[in-house]
Amino acid sequence: MGIWVLGLAVGVGAAVWGWIGLRRRAPADAERALAAQLAPTAELLAAVLAAGAGPEAAASAVAATLGPPMAPLLGGVAAELRMGADPADCWARFGSRPGLAPLGRCLARAGLSGTASAAAVAALAARRRESGARAALAAARRAGVWATAPLGLCFLPAFLLVGVAPVVMGLAERLLGR
């Protein structure tokens, strides 16, 4: 009976620990998904803005083509702008999310001044693509290093036991005169 109670306590503890870990991880996953959609979003916005649409129409069109988590954010901004909200406030709220500040500033400038922001948004998209490529390359390099770690952990002790230890023991035997 005692081992059963211990097993139950360990199981409940593991479940609670996993639940807490997943709850902490959810915001990080949402931020990662948002960051992953930033470059395609900026490219689509740049294309729609270059075609002559304003920031509100561009946000609405791009929101219709994207999925969560970016689509609800852009759709909300487009809806607020259609209802007559201040563009600076709308894009500032959009830019308050992690990683979206540069895009929010570009579109706020376009909404306030009426200037074409397609070039600035396209440059932002290019920078995001470039930084994403650098991050992917760094992750691939890290994966190569981590892939060799188990190999080293297995072969290094074997090399020491099979290759080095007999030589050291033979030298010690000769030096000690046994």
Contacts of 57 (CB under 8 A, 6+ apart): 48, 78
Considering only residues 142 and 109, tell me which one the structure prediction assigns the higher pLDDT: 142
- Tell me the pLDDT tens digit for each residue of 53-103: 888 899 999 999 998 899 999 999 999 999 999 988 999 999 988 888 899
CB 42 within 8 A of CB 124: yes
What is d(CA 6, CA 1) in angstroms, rounded to the nearest whole number? 9
Question: Given phi > 0 = left and psi -120 to 50 = alpha, else beta, which region is 52?
Answer: left
Residue 103 makes CB contacts below 8 A (sequence gap 6+) with: 38, 41, 42, 45, 94, 95, 121, 124
Rounded (10°) angle between helices 70-82 and 2-50: 50
Confidence (pLDDT) at 146: 87
Please check the confidence at residue 8 and state whether its pLDDT lies above 80: no
Share of the chain above pLDDT 70, in %: 92
Q: Which pLDDT score, from 0 to 100, does residue 178 have? A: 65
Rounded mean pLDDT, 101-117 = 81
Higher pLDDT, 163 or 113: 163
Instruction: Identify the pLDDT of residue 26.
Output: 57
Is the predicted pLDDT of residue 20 greater than 90, yes or no?
no
Name the nearest CA neighbour of 92 among 70, 82, 77, 75.
77
The half-sphere exposure of 61 on its side-chain side, counting CA atoms within 13 A, is 16
Question: How confident is the model over 33-45, as pLDDT tens digits?
Answer: 888 898 999 999 9
Asked if pLDDT for residue 22 goes beyond 70, the answer is: no
Nearest one of 51, 48, 102 to 78, comparing CA atoms:
48
Q: How far is residue 45's CA from residue 60's CA, in Å, rounded to a whole number?
A: 10
Q: Is 174 left (phi over 0), alpha (psi -120 to 50) or beta?
A: alpha
